[in-house]
Structure 1
Amino acid sequence: MDLNKFNIDAPRWDQSTFIGRLKHFFNITDPRTVLLSNGRLDEAKSLVEKCRAGTVPPGTTEEQLHYAKKLYDSAFHPDTGDRMNLIGRMSFQVPGGMAITGFMLQFYRTVPAVVFWQWVNQSFNALVNYTNRNAASPITPTQIGVAYLTATSTALATAVGLNLYTKKAPPLVARWVPFAAVAAANCVNIPMMRQQEVLNGITVMDENDNKLGCSRKAAVKGITQVVISRVAMAAPGMIILPIIMERLEKYPLMQRIKFLHAPMQVMMVGVFLIFMVPAACSLFPQRCSIAVSKLEPELRESIQERYGNTLEYVYFNKGL
């Protein structure tokens, strides 16, 4: 095979199926990639760019190209090509998320602990949401600050309010408070951090990536899917793990090793996230589509003038 004609941007797996997307996201959310140096990541980017230009270095194998693309997708923004900050990458979701979620589930009994860990979690989420936004829609520092404060306040109000409300509820109900707070905050944090997309629209393209205009309705659809994915990412660990811990803590051995409860929860959350990060990202295609008939009237008319009725769907990057 002539690797100079190799289409490195063509998905390795079929992105129209859940299984194909799952394989793709298992690949690019691999937490081991966060251990690589910036120099190694830049080498991967250089090889990807050379392949795009049709100048693959002699001796390069197809597998090396696939691995370079894996590193590129894990560390560089799909819109800008810029290297993303390490903490905001989806490949950091497992190590970062397991630590924060584990401590949220362990330290849920007192208001100060709830406040601190919800603040840490929302700070982490804000950075992840900003890093994985659709970069074609810039956001100002003021808007970032407002989004961060709004989401953090929502999470704290939900967590503290439910924490006080569930004082007399069964212990298991109190253990589910962190998930309720995380779900509520995600419904605020993500739309607020990506508000420019809702206000000004998101770039939509035809199947050949020709830009057609900006659509607010496409932005709403993409952000809604991201919110659902993020809630789904957290749900199994934050719903099932409290049930497991509630039962385990009744055994005498567990009562004698209370100092190990937090590390145990961190590790168990990690097990959930290893599978749930790629699975949640795979729920919807990243290259999202929307019917032309559902676009804003002025954009729909513009497209119909250009394509007639031959173009039924337009496409856009929904972000992660």
Structure 2
Amino acid sequence: MIAVMDANLLQWKKQGQSFFRRLRVWVSLLDPSLLLSSDAEILKAHSLLGSGQKLNEKDNPAVILSLSSVHADSGAPLPFVFRPPAYLPISGPLVVASLLPHSGVKAALFWQLLLQSYNAGFSHTNGNYSAEKSKKTSPKQLLLMAGTVSYTTFAGALPQILINRLRITSPPLQTFCRSILPIPLSGVLAFLNVFTIRSEETETGIQVFDYNGRPVGISKAAGAKAVKETAYSRAALFVATAAVPNLLVLFLQRTRLFQRNSLLAAPCRHISAALVLGLMIPVSFSLFPQLGTIKRDDVEEELRAEAVGVQLFYHRGL
């Protein structure tokens, strides 16, 4: 359990609760060039934030590096592939491939397996584990992750499974399975992926702090709120990423240009999916504050006496 609010959380507190201010910060934090920094440079940047000295504009690169690469519960650098700047470069090709109109079930299952596995690892690594005594992943958590990846992989490939098993040849039904069904399905699976992987936070609770950054205790109510907020934000990301390319292609296929050149549909789908994902990631990460708030009256009764002020703070995670 951490003893005081991490320097990253204190920095997020300074950013305030404005969505547009968070969005501007996340655009900077998602710069892929930040992945070139070494662990030593990351720890040095994090130490600067926690040194207590007044920061100025020349320290902005250190602030960005720390916020993008350090876990706010452990103070340790995040694994390279699960850092926020790596999310688009890694998940982008997986999302585009998973949205393709596959000809067989095996291909659909393969790309869904890669996508759901990466999302599960990202959610677990960037979750809140302030209440955990050990930083190692427990066997129970490993089984939970394996189960989550298994059922979301199968469910993600369900449109292709329906087409193959039911031998659907009707163009309207194929359009529904390939272009309409994946939109709500992507959102539901993204929500379940986060909610299930981080369900332990709702059972054990997470650390909450008062306005001065003093730890108050472990709250299950705050844990449930943090997980739900992150699950909703991830669902919004994948609904938008699935909806725009699919609906755009459906619209363009009615035009003369696309009717004469049917091969244009594939690159249009790929490019639009990648663009929407890239635009939606900072929006999704900004929907809720990284330093979340919960009313003192909404936490456990034993924590209310320890709290100072009308609201408490917690690390939401990603």
SS in 2 for 1:203: strand
SS in 2 for 1:228: helix
- 1:287–1:315 CA contact under 8 A, matched in 2: yes
- 1:95–1:270 CA contact under 8 A, matched in 2: no
TM-score (norm 1): 0.82
Cα distance between partner residues in 2 of 1:55 and 1:108: 56
Matching residue of 2:140: 143
1:281 equivalent in alignment to 2:268: no
* Residues 1:146 and 1:184: Cα distance change in structure 2 (over 3 Å): farther
Cα distance between partner residues in 2 of 1:52 and 1:221: 27
1:96 Cα deviation from its structure 2 partner:
1.6
* Residues 1:225 and 1:50: Cα distance change in structure 2 (over 3 Å): closer
Matching residue of 1:4: none
Matching residue of 1:219: 223
1:183 Cα deviation from its structure 2 partner:
2.5
Matching residue of 2:41: 43
Matching residue of 2:234: 230
* Residues 1:257 and 1:312: Cα distance change in structure 2 (over 3 Å): closer
Structure 1 range deviating more: 183-192 or 156-165 = 156-165
| Counterpart AA for 1:30 | D
1:254 Cα deviation from its structure 2 partner:
4.3
- 1:151–1:185 CA contact under 8 A, matched in 2: no
* Residues 1:267 and 1:84: Cα distance change in structure 2 (over 3 Å): farther
Note the 1:253-268 alignment, pairs <5 A. 254-256=261-263, 261=266, 265-268=269-272
* Residues 1:162 and 1:290: Cα distance change in structure 2 (over 3 Å): same
| Counterpart AA for 2:223 | A
SS in 1 for 2:289: coil
| Counterpart AA for 1:313 | Q
Matching residue of 1:69: 63
Matching residue of 2:152: 155
Cα distance between partner residues in 2 of 1:43 and 1:14: 23
* Residues 1:298 and 1:42: Cα distance change in structure 2 (over 3 Å): same
SS in 2 for 1:79: coil
Cα distance between partner residues in 1 of 2:183 and 2:25: 27
- 1:13–1:20 CA contact under 8 A, matched in 2: no
1:29 Cα deviation from its structure 2 partner:
1.6
- 1:151–1:186 CA contact under 8 A, matched in 2: no
> In the TM superposition, what whole-angstrom CA distance separates every residue of 1:168-227 from its partner, at most 9, and x where no partner exists?
525154224444443333333223322321111111110111111111111111100000
For the aligned residue pairs, the C-alpha RMSD in angstroms reads 2.8
- 1:77–1:84 CA contact under 8 A, matched in 2: yes
Cα distance between partner residues in 1 of 2:34 and 2:260: 37
TM-score (norm 2): 0.82
* Residues 1:143 and 1:180: Cα distance change in structure 2 (over 3 Å): farther
Cα distance between partner residues in 2 of 1:216 and 1:109: 45
User: Among 115, 120, 140, which residue is 1:121 paired with?
Assistant: 115
> In the TM superposition, what whole-angstrom CA distance separates every residue of 1:34-85 from its partner, at most 9, and x where no partner exists?
2x142xx5325314414543679xxxx9333101111121111122121111
Note the 1:1-320 alignment, pairs <5 A. 9-11=10-12, 14-34=15-35, 36-38=36-38, 42-50=40-48, 52-53=50-51, 62-138=56-132, 140-165=137-162, 167=168, 168=170, 169-248=173-252, 251=258, 254-256=261-263, 261=266, 265-299=269-303, 303-304=304-305, 306=306, 311-320=309-318
Cα distance between partner residues in 2 of 1:51 and 1:313: 24
Cα distance between partner residues in 1 of 2:87 and 2:273: 11
SS in 1 for 2:20: helix
